[in-house]
Amino acid sequence: ADEVRRLKVRANAETPLDARTARQFGAEGIGLCRTEHMFFDEDRIAAVREMILADDEAGRRAALTKILPMQRDDFVELFTIMEGLPVTIRLLDPPLHEFLPHTEEDLVAVAKATGLDAAKLMRRAKELHETNPMLGHRGCRLGVSYPEIYEMQVRAIFEAACEIVAQGKTAPIPEVMHPLVAKGEEMRYLRLLTDRIAKQVMAEKGVTIEYMVGTMIELPRAAIRAGDLAEYAEFFSFGTNDLTQTTFGISRDDSGRFLNAYIDKGIFEKDPFVTLDQEGVGDLIRIATERGRAVRPDAKLGICGEHGGDPASIAFCEKIGLDYVSCSPFRVPIARLAAAQAAIGEREKDR
Ligand code: PEP
Ligand code: MG
């Protein structure tokens, strides 16, 4: 299969165990490292909450200073396991209230740990409450309103990369990825932020690291205006979980209540969160691919939603000429096989 396939196969992984598993299954890099998982860790959550609850930027920066070394260690470990293969690191995505306590009991425990009074904590949690969190203050919107969070993450990535070089190991190729971008101007802001911090760290350490900055395509606007994004983004990764959600206007967390009726009545042939809706979501991907490549012919394009491990969706990725698919580590073998079958299918069509 590996001899005939054209598509590269990467894995979605953030823990050392997942990264090792992915490599054992033949992944050629990490296509999506979701950094929020690193923030939810038992030993981090206190500092993360301190950051969220801070009243001002100075308070947030103080908490971020505590998170930086932990985040750097995560990346050192990931880069070590991946031995020079590309690693796409997505900066913080979820709405901040997800990190706050939800039960009364948790709230009291957090108040005790942070030294804040429970009433203030409760007030802050209420302030952060959103009616539609999936369409709210998440993704790169966090990085735009609190740039210090993304600055810390970019610093951690580059400090880790420099440390790998200092240890005499193969230099990693970090790919810094910004989530939920909709507009060229947003991407411009994020690109400048990333380059500024990367340069700062490389100058401090006296090391040059090859890297890329890119975006996820998770919103219809991002797909339609992909040309604007490509001015600043060197790669696109289609986040088809969100892109399916935002194209259909169906919350993937709530779809279970009615999707079966749609499937039973033949309105949907398959669950669009499992198999890519090629006519709708797929058309947006095709448009983004064409418009992105028109501006940046060498843009690297991949997919990292759940569909990246689904054979029918992989065939579509082959058809429109993406460069890679990224899926959960355990689906990597299937993806390698499906990519080969898709390549053969396309070649036969050309005959
Ligand atoms: C996606 O939206 O497809 C994606 C990979 O991001 P997440 O699932 O973390 O929202
Ligand atoms: Mg997403």
Dump pLDDT digits (tens) for 29-61.
999 999 998 888 877 888 888 888 888 899 999
Average pLDDT over residues 159-182: 97
Q: From the CA of 309, which ligand is nearest? A: 1
Query: Average pLDDT in the 281-292 region?
Result: 98
Which is more confident, 180 or 100?
A: 180
Å from CA of 15 to ligand 1 middle: 17
Residue 169 · residue 80 · CB < 8 Å: yes
Distance between Cα 115 and ligand 1 center (Å): 35
**Distance of CA 347 from the midpoint of ligand 1 (Å):** 31
Task: Looking at the CA of residue 305, tell me the nearest atom of ligand 1.
Answer: 3
pLDDT of 125 strictly over 90 = no
Q: In the prediction, which pLDDT does 149 show?
A: 96
Please state, in angstroms and rounded to a whole number, the distance separating the CA atoms of residues 61 and 182: 27
Q: What DSSP line would sit under 57-93, residue for residue? A: HHHHHHHHHHHHHHHHHHHHHHHHHHTTSEEEEEPP-
Give me the pLDDT at residue 128, please. Answer: 87
Q: Determine the distance separating the centroid of ligand 2 and the alpha carbon of 184, expressed in angstroms.
A: 18
Residue nearest to atom 3 of ligand 1 (CA): 239
Euclidean distance between CA atoms 272 and 307, whole angstroms? 9
For ligand 1, mutation pick of 217, 242, 250, 252 (most atoms within 8 Å of CB): 242
Alpha helix segments (H runs only) across 129-233: 140-145, 147-166, 184-205, 220-224, 226-230
Res. 108 pLDDT band, cuts 50 70 90: confident
- The pLDDT of residue 120 is 80
Amino acid at 100: L
Token pair of 14, please? Answer: 């953030």
Give pTM, 2 decimals. Answer: 0.96
Query: 135, 178, 216: which to mutate for ligand 1, most atoms within 8 A of CB?
Result: 216
- DSSP 8-state code for residue 331: G
**Per-position b or e across 110-123, b if 16+ CB within 10 A of its CB:** bbeebebeeeebbe
At 200 the pLDDT is 98
Distance CA 155, CA 163 (A): 12
Report the share of the chain in percent with pLDDT over 70: 100
Task: Over range 279-292, report the average pLDDT.
Answer: 98
Inform me whether the pLDDT recorded for 97 exceeds 90.
no
CA 111 – ligand 2 centroid, Å: 31
Amino acid at residue number 321: G
The Å distance, Cα 173 to ligand 2 centre, comes to 22
- Which residue puts its alpha carbon closest to atom 4 of ligand 1? 239
Look at ligand 1, atom 1, and give the residue with the nearest C-alpha: 239
Handedness of CA 203, 72, 65, 60 (dihedral sign): positive
Q: What is the pLDDT of residues 293-351, one digit of tens each?
A: 999 999 999 999 999 999 999 999 999 999 999 999 999 999 999 999 999 999 999 88
Name all residues whose Cβ lies below 6 A of ligand 1. Answer: 32, 34, 93, 218, 239-242, 304-305
**pLDDT for residue 192:** 98
Q: Rounded to whole angstroms, how far apart are CA atoms 28 and 22?
A: 9
Closest CA relative to residue 31, chosen from 47, 43, 13:
13
Q: Which atom of ligand 1 is nearest to the CA of 238?
A: 3
Determine the pLDDT at residue 1: 97
Tokens of 49: 């909450």
The closest residue, in CA terms, to atom 10 on ligand 1 is 242
> Which residues, including other chains, have CB under 8 Å from residue 185's CB and lie 6 or more apart?
none
Among the ranges given (57-66, 104-113, 274-283, 297-306), the one the predictor scored with the smallest mean pLDDT: 104-113
Q: Which ligand is closest in space to the CA of residue 304?
A: 1
Burial string for 74-104 (b: 16+ CB within 10 Å, else e) reads bbbebbbbbeebbbbbbbbbbbbbebbbeee
Q: What share of the chain is helix, strand, coil (3-state, %, to 5)?
A: 60, 10, 30
Report the share of the chain in percent with pLDDT over 90.
Answer: 83
Instruction: Using the mean position of ligand 2's atoms as its centre, give its distance from the Cα of residue 139 in Å.
Output: 8
- Max Cα distance, the chain (Å): 72
Which ligand 1 atom is nearest residue 179's CA? 6
What's the length of the chain? Answer: 351
